[in-house]
Chain A
């Protein structure tokens, strides 16, 4: 907020600074996207627009397979993590020991990714061994391969990693929600589920959708932990990094980075634009509905 006596140059300076920060943060990303459309790649003197690098990426079976696997992981992580985070946020609101609850929920964030990944790796190896032992004791093979490294173990690691973020994002929007509205819905005859779905959810959905976007992006972003728990370096991020390390930045690498950047920016940008447009629409509607004040 600025008061009426603020120096206009101070205001301009603040906005310029903000713009500079945003430009500094995003220009490398935009530059990579820009390069990814150049037929001659990075540091070429000529710029000729092309989709060829994207075509190459999408026709590369290893890349498409790693992309599909990561998309599958992201979708499953969203499907599992978001309801869990939502439940956690609801429990938090009812909880009497809020500080302890938040500390518990956020604790995975305080463990470095490599440590968490390797700890889970050891844990799953031991768990797998324990189940194999159980199978042999029982003379069955019911638990065979349950916790062998693969999709399930990578998913569990991803859930542990993304749950705190999703919890916080949902909690922020949920903090504005008054529980009396749920009670009012119940008093009108709604079941607990109807009260949640028809009254509470519409008011927290921005947070829920933001969390979905966040978990998706984190799933693409995560490299080390997923690689350790998947048992192979063939996730999309890992393939991208491996390519860069082995053959340097090729046109394909730029196109892959471009895909990730465009998806991330589109998702986050859409949420921001939707939120701003919705707020503006509501405000305009409120202005239109307001009674005029006439002079006397």
Chain B
């Protein structure tokens, strides 16, 4: 294992075209050794392409992949210090669990005794003690993914690539496996790069998250940064349950920007913004920050508020969403923890005021 301050992966202007289709556009980023890094984004956004480029399963059209500082762009997968866990169907069906896990060790000609010990140890790590003789078709989906994980981890590769490893599992199992993955990563201490389109999965496991969409790296940061202070409009729309509203900058005063929504003006805290009067911008407010009050109740200076019309309430178990329509026709949702939902009852079509704490909305110029 390398020093944790090392850079495990460096991607430099990496691009991939399929004919005339651009799957990835000159993406650059670095991943530290020992980090759990998630590539998150909508389907077809290029995240699996990026992972496969790092793993050497496809060759880049442009740019470089450096693993521990060495350019490996020209090397096939078996010559890279990586291993990979696939979405599904990747266990060898004609081999039992033990032979599946031992496959890579056998290729490396590891002595039989050592191989057996390593396989047993790894199966115990993924919670599959005693499953050595089972065939893949005798295992559940979750168990199959654990075997895949064991098969990859047993190789002691520095970097483990996970391509939607939990996508084929049911919601409960996915949640359990998320925590399991995180626990295993912390135990083995190697770099995990995990591709997923499921934001909850990424937020649960990742030290850092990169948002990938339309072949571009939109932004990256810690799970908290990405969730609470998204810089890009796309991120705000993709992560969490954000309400994204658009308007024109009416004025900039120090670190505050006044946005004209046509039906109301709101102040947004935007330190270091490049926005200027007249610019088309957007801002986002997470649904759990929105509060709903009667129109008669005026918001104090610590709150920003806009008029709205009440639409409906949707009970979601842990949370309850209240939908309202703004005067421009857009709909926004205010979300409450169900057990603390004490806003009272509103009638459909009733005029209300919605507000959020000043300073909690995020301005997006792009």
Q: Name A residues whose Cβ lies closer than 8 Å to a Cβ of B.
A: 178, 180-181, 183-192, 194, 198-199, 202-203, 282, 285-286, 289-290
Contact of A184 among B76, B94, B148 (CB under 8 A): B148
Would A189 and B148 be within 8 Å (CB), given that A202-B94, A290-B138 are in contact?
no
The interface centre, meaning the residue of B93, B151, B161 with most chain A CB atoms within 10 A of its CB, is B93
Smallest CB gap from A289: residue in B: B138
Residues in B86-103 with C-beta less than 8 Å from chain A: 86-94, 103
Measured between beta carbons, the chain B residues less than 8 angstroms from A178 are 89-90
Measured between beta carbons, the chain A residues less than 8 angstroms from B4 are none
Q: In the assembled complex, how far is the CB of residue B88 from the closest CB belonging to chain A, in whole angstroms? A: 8
Contact of B104 among A189, A191, A203 (CB under 8 A): A189
Q: State A290–B134 Cα separation when bound (angstroms).
A: 9
Contact A184 B108 (CB under 8 A): no
B107 at the interface (CB under 8 A from A): yes
Total contacts A-B at CB 8 Å: 72
Interface segment out of the listed B77-85, B315-323, B342-350, B355-363: B77-85
Q: In the assembled complex, how far is the CB of residue A6 from the closest CB belonging to chain B, in whole angstroms? A: 29
B137 at the interface (CB under 8 A from A): yes
Q: State A43–B236 Cα separation when bound (angstroms).
A: 91
Smallest CB gap from A183: residue in B: B57
The interface centre, meaning the residue of B57, B76, B78, B108 with most chain A CB atoms within 10 A of its CB, is B78
What interface size band does chain B fall in? 20 to 34
Add 13 more A-B contacts to A194-B107, A289-B138 (CB < 8 A).
A178-B90, A180-B88, A181-B90, A183-B84, A184-B84, A184-B148, A187-B84, A187-B161, A188-B107, A189-B78, A198-B103, A282-B135, A290-B138
Contact of B93 among A188, A192, A194, A203 (CB under 8 A): A203
Contact of A191 among B78, B90, B138 (CB under 8 A): B78
Contact A199 B92 (CB under 8 A): yes
Would A183 and B86 be within 8 Å (CB), given that A189-B155, A191-B78, A194-B107 are in contact?
yes
Measured between beta carbons, the chain A residues less than 8 angstroms from B108 are 189
Contact B57 A186 (CB under 8 A): yes
Q: State A194–B55 Cα separation when bound (angstroms).
A: 18
Contact A187 B135 (CB under 8 A): no
Question: Binary interface profile of B, 151-187, with partner A (CB < 8 Å = 1, else 0)?
Answer: 1100100000100000000000000000000000000
Q: State A211–B82 Cα separation when bound (angstroms).
A: 38
Measured between beta carbons, the chain B residues less than 8 angstroms from A190 are 78, 103-104, 107
Q: State A27–B88 Cα separation when bound (angstroms).
A: 48
Q: State A186–B138 Cα separation when bound (angstroms).
A: 24
Contact B155 A188 (CB under 8 A): yes
Q: State A178–B94 Cα separation when bound (angstroms).
A: 13
Contact B90 A184 (CB under 8 A): yes
B133 at the interface (CB under 8 A from A): yes
Measured between beta carbons, the chain B residues less than 8 angstroms from A180 are 86-90
Measured between beta carbons, the chain A residues less than 8 angstroms from B107 are 188-190, 194
Contact A285 B90 (CB under 8 A): no
Measured between beta carbons, the chain B residues less than 8 angstroms from A192 are 76
Contact A183 B89 (CB under 8 A): no
In the assembled complex, 17 residue pairs joining A and B whose CB atoms fall closer than 8 Å, in A order, are A178-B90, A181-B89, A181-B90, A183-B57, A183-B77, A184-B90, A184-B148, A185-B103, A186-B76, A186-B78, A187-B78, A187-B84, A188-B78, A189-B104, A189-B107, A190-B104, A289-B134
Measured between beta carbons, the chain A residues less than 8 angstroms from B78 are 186-191
Report the 3 A-B pairs with minimum CB-CB distance, sorted nearest first. A188-B104, A187-B84, A184-B90
Grouping DSSP codes into helix (H, G, I), strand (E, B) and loop, the A interface class, with mixed when no group exceeds half, is: helix
Q: State A93–B76 Cα separation when bound (angstroms).
A: 21
Q: State A202–B155 Cα separation when bound (angstroms).
A: 23
Smallest CB gap from B84: residue in A: A187
Q: State A190–B107 Cα separation when bound (angstroms).
A: 7
Contact of A286 among B87, B135, B152 (CB under 8 A): B135
Q: In the assembled complex, how far is the CB of residue A212 from the closest CB belonging to chain B, in whole angstroms? A: 20
Contact B76 A187 (CB under 8 A): no
Q: In the assembled complex, how far is the CB of residue B49 from the closest CB belonging to chain A, in whole angstroms? A: 14
Q: In the assembled complex, how far is the CB of residue A284 from the closest CB belonging to chain B, in whole angstroms? A: 12
Contact A184 B86 (CB under 8 A): yes
Q: State A185–B107 Cα separation when bound (angstroms).
A: 10
Measured between beta carbons, the chain A residues less than 8 angstroms from B92 are 181, 184-185, 199
Q: State A181–B91 Cα separation when bound (angstroms).
A: 7
Q: State A194–B109 Cα separation when bound (angstroms).
A: 14
Measured between beta carbons, the chain B residues less than 8 angstroms from A286 are 135, 137-138
Q: State A289–B135 Cα separation when bound (angstroms).
A: 9
Question: Binary interface profile of B, 106-139, with partner A (CB < 8 Å = 1, else 0)?
Answer: 0110000000000000000000000001110110
Contact B55 A187 (CB under 8 A): yes
Q: State A92–B78 Cα separation when bound (angstroms).
A: 25
Contact B94 A187 (CB under 8 A): no
Q: State A75–B193 Cα separation when bound (angstroms).
A: 50
Q: State A26–B55 Cα separation when bound (angstroms).
A: 55
Smallest CB gap from B86: residue in A: A180
Q: State A181–B57 Cα separation when bound (angstroms).
A: 12
Q: In the assembled complex, how far is the CB of residue B181 from the closest CB belonging to chain A, in whole angstroms? A: 17
Contact B103 A188 (CB under 8 A): yes
Measured between beta carbons, the chain B residues less than 8 angstroms from A285 are 135
Smallest CB gap from A188: residue in B: B104
Q: In the assembled complex, how far is the CB of residue B218 from the closest CB belonging to chain A, in whole angstroms? A: 27
Measured between beta carbons, the chain B residues less than 8 angstroms from A186 are 57, 76-78
Q: In the assembled complex, how far is the CB of residue A249 from the closest CB belonging to chain B, in whole angstroms? A: 48
Contact A187 B137 (CB under 8 A): no
Smallest CB gap from A192: residue in B: B76
Q: State A199–B57 Cα separation when bound (angstroms).
A: 17
Would A188 and B83 be within 8 Å (CB), given that A183-B77, A289-B138, A290-B138 are in contact?
yes
Contact A188 B151 (CB under 8 A): yes
Measured between beta carbons, the chain B residues less than 8 angstroms from A188 are 78, 83, 103-104, 107, 151-152, 155
Smallest CB gap from A186: residue in B: B77
Q: State A192–B77 Cα separation when bound (angstroms).
A: 10
Measured between beta carbons, the chain A residues less than 8 angstroms from B134 are 289
